[in-house]
A and B are shown apart, each in its own frame.
Chain A
């Protein structure tokens, strides 16, 4: 089964997928922006400031999702000693960090008109900031050492420790009294957001996920070529 993660097979798929993903991302993003900025209604309480949700929420979801995936892959790296898992995890990290930064920045911008402040040390915001620090530590762990084996181990341990923070982010609004409202979109319970807002939110989430996929494909390709370059040096 692990043969499916062979770099050759993945590289073959990457080069065919990349252009398709880029084109699809642009189309979905344009539809999403039109829905989010023009078609979707304003909120009865927050008025038009609610539109920030269409970039803030998908960014937060995707940064959390990517970090969870990196952590799961890190378990795989330590258990199966599969180096390709580490390449995949490493290639996922840049878009995860970008979405984390976007979630923090747009949350701060949204907080100003809604809560009257740019920043508050509430549980959700603080745990998201902690996630950004884990992302930074993860990315830096690849850069601070030339020893690849050591970098793989250190980065995996950082990702696994950081996984503890993921449920804290998710349930922080339920466990503590925070400025954030409880989740409006639920997979298991009833979703409390109206379809006129849910549709643009879903489209923007799809666009952001496609962007993550595109960045992943490009970064993974780069990492594979780096390996081949080292291989050519050894010939």
Chain B
């Protein structure tokens, strides 16, 4: 049974390499996009922490920031 699944009548190398290529592609793209997202979130956290209290209030008044803040570590402090 396992041999049948692995060798697939002699086509195993083609079938498995296609599926593995696809899954590796998924993993690489997911990791790259995730890293980008984490990097930008960290940048935002760092910038937000360095803002003066006046600017923080100003930022919070903007609707876009209110939506963003719950998803950053700043809001979890």
Q: How far is the CA of A189 from the CA of B13 in the complex (A)?
A: 35
Taking a contact as CB atoms under 8 Å apart, the answer to whether B62 and A109 are in contact is: no
Q: Return 17 A-B CB contacts under 8 Å, by A number.
A: A11-B67, A11-B68, A37-B19, A55-B18, A55-B19, A98-B29, A106-B21, A109-B21, A112-B14, A113-B11, A211-B26, A218-B34, A222-B33, A224-B68, A225-B68, A232-B51, A235-B59
**For window 84-120 of chain A, which residues contact chain B by CB distance below 8 Å?**
94-95, 98, 101-102, 105-106, 109-110, 112-113
Known A112-B14, A233-B47: A102·B65 in contact at CB below 8 Å: no
CB-based A-B contact count at 8 angstroms? 116
Looking at chain B's contact residues, is the secondary structure mostly helix, strand, loop, or mixed? helix
Q: Indicate the size class of the contact surface on chain B.
A: 35 or more
Q: Given A11-B68, A218-B33, A235-B58, are A102 and B17 neighbors across the interface (CB < 8 Å)?
A: no
Residue of A whose beta carbon sits closest to that of B29: A98
| CB-CB nearest in chain A for B59 | A235
Q: How many angstroms from the CA of A222 to the CA of B44 in the assembled complex?
A: 11
Q: State the B residues within 8 Å of A (CB).
A: 5, 8-12, 14-15, 17-19, 21-22, 25-26, 29-30, 33-34, 36-37, 40-41, 43-44, 47-48, 51, 55, 58-59, 62-65, 67-68, 70-71
Residue count of chain A within 8 Å CB distance of chain B? 46
Smallest CB separation, A101 vs chain B (Å):
7
A177 adjacent to chain B (CB < 8 Å): no
Query: Nearest Cβ distance between residue B31 and chain A, in whole angstroms?
Result: 11
Whole-angstrom distance from the CB of B6 to the nearest CB of chain A?
A: 10
Q: Which of A38, A95, A228, A235 contacts B55 (CB 8 A)?
A: A235
